[in-house]
Homo-oligomer: A and B are copies of this chain.
Amino acid sequence: MPRRGDHSKEELKNLILDAAEALVAEHGAAGLSARAIAKQIGYAAGTIYLNFANLDEVILHVNARTLDRMYAAIEPAASGRAGPVTRLKRAARAYVEFARANPSLWRLCFEHRLPPGSDSPDWLDRRIEGLVSLIVEPVREVTQSTGRALETTAQTLFSGVHGICMLTLTNKLDVVGKQGTEQLTDALISNYIRGVTSAHSE
């Protein structure tokens, strides 16, 4: 049934997402527009709306892809055979590295505002939880905690690294370079972990 290039529904969706991703990566979030996507894939702008409800939905799917790539980038670091603290630090570095390599896509994940009233779909939120879950195991190993305390520690560390990443990448802190950021994430992890374990043995 397709006419232009024999693209199945699924292929066309992926073409749209590919184009959207490339546009954001190259020209920032502002470079994303229905017409720009259409031009890049050789379709008319209206075609996008046959596959997605609106541009917000396109962005949400782009974000899902980005989060999946983030997961893949962090997973090896978090689950190596090194000690738990080392794995946590490596995971944080992988996170920062990914954000530095994909600044626009990374920011789109966390800065995209959808219209008031509606909030992000479950399949997206679950991907962020998936990222947090990556560090639960090393945290458990090193803190010997379980249940709610374990989850709290993992969430706190993740948020902390995320905040450091956010503020340093957007130059809102007086910190420059990769090692500047890593100094902060390393400090966060070592001190927090030491704090937890020393409270334990007290």
Contacts and interface: CB of A to CB of B under 8 A. Distances in A.
B166 A184 contact: no
Interface string A23-34: 000011110000
A156 B163 CA distance: 9
A10 interface: no
A173 interface: yes
Given A113-B29, A159-B167, A194-B199, A128 B188 contact: no
A190 B185 CA distance: 17
A160 B159 CA distance: 6
A188 B119 CA distance: 27
Contacts of A160: 156, 159-160, 163-164, 188
Number of copies: 2
A129 B171 CA distance: 11
Contacts of A45: none
Report, as a range, how many residues of chain A touch the other chain: 35 or more
B191 A195 contact: yes
Interface in A127-177: 128-129, 132, 152-153, 155-156, 158-168, 170-175
B166 A110 contact: yes
A30 to B, nearest CB: 7
A120 interface: yes
Contact of A30 (B115, B171, B196): B115
Given A119-B171, A160-B188, A192-B195, 15 more contacts: A111-B113, A120-B171, A129-B173, A132-B173, A152-B183, A153-B187, A156-B187, A159-B164, A159-B166, A159-B184, A160-B164, A162-B166, A191-B191, A193-B195, A195-B198
